[in-house]
Each structure stands twice: as structure tokens, then as C-alpha cells.
Amino acid sequence: MRALFALLAVLGLAGIVFGVITIIQGAQREPFSYENYGGPGAIIGGLMLIALGLYLLSVWPRIEPRSRGVNHH
């Protein structure tokens, strides 16, 4: 599960990158020709995925290797 949470954070980072690229491409066009280009939404979604992934990584219990042949009961 921890790998899935790390993947969520990486996907969030990719969303931020795509949002910035979209904003840069929208800024190169004629002003007010196409206002709804979707850049801020991808950035906000990316930030949410990063926050969620890092939170779940910090909260989810780590699997600790058990000692071989040692019984602590």
C-alpha cells in the first residue's frame, strides 16, 4: 500500500507539471481568446494528490521484518 501512496504523490507532481505547461501555453496565445484552459485545476489537483499521498505514507504502518526463530510471547 505504501507504494500506492508514493505513486499518488508522483501523479500529483505530474499534475502540477502539466498544469504549469498548460498555463504557459495559454499565456502565449492572444489575451482573453481562450480563458478556460484548465491549468489551475491541474495544479490544485496535483497539490491535493501530493498532500494525500504524503499524509498516507506518514500514517500507514510500516511492515517491520520479524526476527527468525525468536518468539516474543
Cα four-point dihedral sign 29, 35, 36, 39: positive
- 73: confidence class by pLDDT, cuts 50, 70, 90: low
pTM score above 0.85: no
Q: What is the pLDDT of residue 52?
A: 94
Using only the alpha carbons of the chain, give its radius of gyration.
20
Share above pLDDT 90 across residues of the chain, in percent, rounded to a whole number: 37
Amino acid at 47: L
Residues 5/56, Cβ–Cβ less than 8 Å? yes
Q: What is the pLDDT of residue 48?
A: 95
Q: What is the pLDDT of residue 47?
A: 94
Share above pLDDT 70 across residues of the chain, in percent, rounded to a whole number: 67
Distance CA 42, CA 35 (A): 15
Note the pLDDT tens digit of each residue in 34-62. 555 666 888 899 999 999 999 999 998 87
Ordered by start, the domain boundaries in the chain are 2-28+38-59
